[in-house]
A and B are shown apart, each in its own frame.
Chain A
Amino acid sequence: DAGVIQSPRHEVTEMGQEVTLRCKPISGHDYLFWYRQTMMRGLELLIYFNNNVPIDDSGMPEDRFSAKMPNASFSTLKIQPSEPRDSAVYFCASSYAGKETQYFGPGTRLLVL
């Protein structure tokens, strides 16, 4: 299995631009999670899906952030418009039948100038 796949691995953009991060979970997994990691705040859960349905988006910082999961093998996290404080590493993770054993992707390093 290829594991969780994220793209792009690195993204540099200017303030105000739209950013789209992509994730392909492990085949057969029914949970998908989006996290953000910074030195100051650590690893924070943004949103998670179960069977493609968003269950808890209380961690999404504001309306500039949105996430979709159109099918079991693909999810996107969009930031529009982006701001310098959004600079962080964004991780996608997936799991099967529970949230304890999550498999993380390699992350997307986002830098907003």
Chain B
Amino acid sequence: QKEVEQDPGPLSVPEGAIVSLNCTYSNSAFQYFMWYRQYSRKGPELLMYTYSSGNKEDGRFTAQVDKSSKYISLFIRDSQPSDSATYLCALNRDDKIIFGKGTRLHILP
């Protein structure tokens, strides 16, 4: 079983919709949970990070962590065409960051 699983997509949704992106993980040692956004032909950029179960909100973005289920989510409200990118979850344990393979998201105008 891979340490971090993420559906590669692509996920296509209409502009204005709520987007839900998810990752599951297998190792309960993970302590920090992050979401990176990567535009085409660019490097990933950090969107949000959290180290506890529950929700963390930043503008239109909400990160959710459920440690009991080993499940993390990123919600995007009022999605915009500019949100079209690949979203990678990243988890930190034992001084190592493990990235998911990323989910490609297309917001349709």
Contact = CB atoms under 8 A, between A and B. Distances in A.
Interface of A: 4, 41-45, 55-56, 91, 93, 99-107
Contacts, number: 46
Contact of A43 (B32, B42, B44): B44
A100 B92 contact: yes
List 9 tightest A-B contacts by C-beta distance, closest first: A104-B43, A42-B101, A43-B99, A104-B44, A100-B49, A100-B32, A91-B43, A105-B43, A107-B43
A94 to B, nearest CB: 11
A92 to B, nearest CB: 9
B42 A106 contact: yes
24 contacts: A41-B101, A42-B88, A42-B99, A42-B100, A43-B44, A43-B102, A44-B99, A45-B97, A55-B95, A56-B95, A93-B43, A99-B92, A99-B95, A99-B97, A100-B46, A100-B92, A102-B46, A102-B97, A103-B46, A104-B43, A104-B45, A107-B41, A107-B42, A107-B43
